[in-house]
Structure 1
Amino acid sequence: MIEHITTQKAPLPKGHYAQATKANGFVFVSGQLPFTADGNAVLPEGLDAQVRQTLSNLREVLLAAQTSIGKLVSVQIYVSDIETWPRVNELYREFVGDPAPARTVVPCARLHYGAHIEISAIALCGDELSSGI
């Protein structure tokens, strides 16, 4: 069974996609940008604020899917400037903790809306862990 996840606690999609999809024991989170859930299309100023907002959006979508940051298995981070990677990595580490999930970092010349960062992820469903799988 496939379940589409929607939460008002993270920015709603501006295109034809779900915030996340649950299938076969996993949650697939669509790329999250650093916008707030209030629909205000203004990016926070500065790299730190954008990274924190994007990670917060990721957490809210995972919670709506009844899972959490601790159940991440793979994270894809897109950055508009690879020179910012050391700081992004610091903030990411604070947020995710240890052990860290598998991760891919993709430098991009330009991200949608001029954002510094976008993050997509895959996590285990909450019920999968509680059943011993």
Structure 2
Amino acid sequence: MKNLYSLMRKHGLILAGIAALGVSGSAFAQNKAIDFKQGNPFSDGFVAGNTLYVAGQQGPDAKGDVTSTDITVQTHNAIEAVRKVVEKAGFKMSDLVSVTVYVTDLNDVKKMNEVYIKDMPDPKPARATVKVAGLIGGAKIEISAIAVKH
């Protein structure tokens, strides 16, 4: 790497080399929290360069409560919550590259998948599904995601 740097410096190609690697100054300019509320321990999302990190989203109702115990309703609402963060950050759902789904009951995965297949864009992002002992607020599902602007 040192030899490459020396060669590029010698020939005045540092900027051309950076551009060839696909790195630009603007890629590092945009770092911002999405829906951070003072006093909360996290933001709903965080943009770092061209990447958006979406915090775990559940499927609450308009009052912020998880009222339905139906995994299909909670899955749909959680995906919509992810969508709101993605769009508020200026990204599209098709920019999603990785999703982690946390469920409290593996017996719910089949029904969750039916909604997930319908509500998530094609091609589907890479995904991990993790069984957890419990989620805040009694939710049955929580979804976190990573999106990258193409």
Query: Structure 1 residue 124: deviation in Å?
Result: 1.2
Match of 1:4? 33
Distance in 1 separating the partners of 2:134 and 2:43:
23
Whether the 8 Å contact between 2:97 and 2:147 is mirrored in structure 1 is: yes
Equivalences for residues 14-93 of structure 1 within 5 A: 15-36=40-61, 38-93=62-117
TM-score relative to the length of structure 2: 0.73
Counterpart amino acid of residue 137 in structure 2: Y
User: Where does structure 1 differ by over 3 angstroms across 4 or more consecutive aligned residues?
Assistant: 12-15
Distance in 1 separating the partners of 2:63 and 2:39:
10
Gap runs ≥5 in structure 2: 1-28
| Structure ID, larger Rg | 2
Q: 1:40 to 1:28 in 2, by over 3 A?
A: closer
More helix by share: 2
| Aligned pair partner of 2:141 in 108, 117, 131 | 117
Whether the 8 Å contact between 1:13 and 1:19 is mirrored in structure 2 is: no
- How many percent identity over aligned positions? 31
SS at match of 1:88: helix
- Cα RMSD, aligned residues only: 2.0
TM-score relative to the length of structure 1: 0.82
Gap runs ≥5 in structure 1: none
Q: 1:6 to 1:39 in 2, by over 3 A?
A: same
